[in-house]
Amino acid sequence: MEPKKRNLILKLYEVNAIKFGTFILKSGLESPVYLDLRVIVSYPEIMKEVANIMWTKAEENTLRYDSVCGVPYTALPIATCISTDHNIPMLIRRKETKDYGTKKMIEGSYKEDDYCLIIEDVVTSGTSVYETAQALNSVGVKVRDAIVLLDREQGGADSLKTQDIHLHSVCTMTEVLTVLEKHNKIDKTMVEKTKEFIYSNRFDQTVKKPTPQANGDHTGKKIIRPTWAESAQKCKLQITARLYNIMHKKKTNLAVSVDVHSCREVKKIIEAVGLHVCIVKTHIDIIEDFVPEFTKELQDLAEKYNFLIFEDRKFADIGNTVQSQYSRGIYKISDWADIVNVHPLPGKGVISGLQQVVKDKGLKRGCLLVAEMSSAGNLITKDYTQASLRLAEADEHKDFVMGFVCQSRLTEDPSMIHMVPGVKLSSGGDNLGQQYTTPEEAVIKRGADIIIVGRGITEADNLKEEAERYQKAGYEAYLKTVS
Ligand code: S5P
């Protein structure tokens, strides 16, 4: 390793930009390593070296670009140094455009089809780099490359590659560990512990984990999650906080799917299982004797038993159409369903369309993206799932998207809730391709925050007892995963 790089790693360690110990990350995970490069603004010499070594990396790779842009906020001063030292124009990405409405997302002068080089301090999943690239793209500026000082090797480079962004890293976590061990700053146990943490928390493993139709094998990483009470504090959406509070109060992560065909049957099931569930999921269009008044009865039951109503409508059309499907027709879903879901297939318009309705009516609603499915042979690919994750994380949807209907854990962001359908106490399937997993596997291995159970409960002889069994299984599995 070049002495310049080695010395820089040692200096970063000295100023506590790289720390070892026990740290609780934003996601609730306990990490043995913590990187905080914000501190380098207090050490101009280090700042200069960082900027220089990153610029050299761009030169070595003969990258072509018209401007640089630092990912806000830590990389902003680094990009500024590169810009002024080497006379390269800089662009600034605003993170808070939403609050100002008409303000520009990108500040600075640019031309359509200019290339911009992204500068980032640390890459984990690659999301921040991608968001910056998206902001630049939205004003016509292209992004081909990003330079990062430190790649945590948790899948960011691979993930960005799928978006055609090449990540060039000055150093990797492995190199950091090697240098620090060699210079007796950390011991072998810490090196192993950190490697284990990095390896078992790779984002590409969670995002690209095989879906059930591929091989049915879900031996993913062990999930450690904050408690529901903590999650209620951490999440940004009011509806998600409400849900976590219900889960905490009623000690249940069970959603019951009432897929029956009369109002009377729906009500009978809810009266029997209401105390044991946090969500009642409906398919309103399969009820044969539906009358508009029924939705009021549903809401009364939701209040009586304290649960949220999730209408499993799976909107999948252009924004303009789904707006009408959501708010008009005989069902007027937006009036009574706390949660709905969409297939993200049509692109962001399907979400924005519904979001507009919620905004116009001043409602507190949540939307889930169907990012994976439980049915055998479904056409969802890993790239589609990953693209769904990006859509969910987009700033413009933060007031509405509350998570996913999925089969594996897609992100550690506590604001994103994972609901897993296809759950039964005995695994197996039906004769139309449904594939079941157990509550324990759904919660522990797949990372479900909520288990969705339909026929496992609705076809039981004793509805209440069966719901209690699922509630207990789901709750005990949750307790095993709390940090
Ligand atoms: O991938 C999915 C997504 C959903 S929302 N697989 C599913 O089974 N669902 C829904 O969950 C499905 O529409 C049904 O309402 C419920 C599962 O019902 P069960 O009877 O098979 O448990």
Residue minimizing CA distance to atom 1 of ligand 1: 373
Domains and CATH numbers, the chain: 3-207 (3.40.50.2020), 213-479 (3.20.20.70)
Q: In angstroms, rounded to a whole number, what is the distance separating the alpha carbons of residues 354 and 348?
A: 10
Q: Evaluate whether 117 touches 145 at the Cβ level (below 8 Å).
A: yes
What separation in Å is there between the alpha carbon of 312 and the centre of ligand 1? Answer: 9
Q: Name the strand (E) or helix (H) holding 23.
A: strand 18-24
Average the pLDDT over 88-111 and give the result: 78
Q: Which atom of ligand 1 sits closest to the CA of residue 374?
A: 1
| Phi, psi of 199, rounded to the nearest 5 degrees | -65, -45
196: tokens are 């284990």
Average the pLDDT over 50-65 and give the result: 93
Residue minimizing CA distance to atom 16 of ligand 1: 454
Q: In angstroms, rounded to a whole number, what is the distance separating the alpha carbons of residues 440 and 163?
A: 35
Average the pLDDT over 141-155 and give the result: 95
Q: Which atom of ligand 1 sits closest to the CA of residue 370?
A: 3
Could you read off the pLDDT of 269-292 as tens digits, one per residue? 999 999 999 999 999 999 999 999
| Range name among 60-69, 201-210, 302-311, 419-428 with the lowest pLDDT average | 201-210
Average the pLDDT over 47-75 and give the result: 95
Maximum alpha-carbon separation in the chain: 77
Q: Evaluate whether 343 touches 378 at the Cβ level (below 8 Å).
A: no
Q: With 90 as the cut, is the pLDDT of residue 131 above it?
A: no
Report the alpha-carbon angle 28-75-413, nearest 5: 20
Could you read off the pLDDT of 351-390 as tens digits, one per residue? 999 999 999 999 999 999 999 999 998 999 988 999 999 9
Cα–chain-centroid distance for residue 267? 34
Q: With 70 as the cut, is the pLDDT of residue 28 above it?
A: no
Could you read off the pLDDT of 316-341 as tens digits, one per residue? 999 999 999 999 999 999 999 999 99
Q: pTM (2 decimals)?
A: 0.60
Q: Cβ(451) to ligand 1 under 6 A?
A: no
Q: Is 259 a known ligand-binding residue?
A: yes
Could you read off the pLDDT of 185-235 as tens digits, one per residue? 999 999 999 998 888 777 653 333 333 332 222 334 557 788 999 999 988
Residue minimizing CA distance to atom 15 of ligand 1: 257
Residue minimizing CA distance to atom 12 of ligand 1: 421
Burial class (CB in 10 A: 0-12, 13-18, 19+), 432: exposed
Active site amino acids: 312, 314, 317
What separation in Å is there between the alpha carbon of 454 and the centre of ligand 1? Answer: 7
What separation in Å is there between the alpha carbon of 278 and the centre of ligand 1? Answer: 17
Q: Which atom of ligand 1 sits closest to the CA of residue 372?
A: 1
Q: Is 281 a known ligand-binding residue?
A: yes
Q: Cβ(385) to ligand 1 under 6 A?
A: no
Q: In angstroms, rounded to a whole number, what is the distance separating the alpha carbons of residues 409 and 209?
A: 9
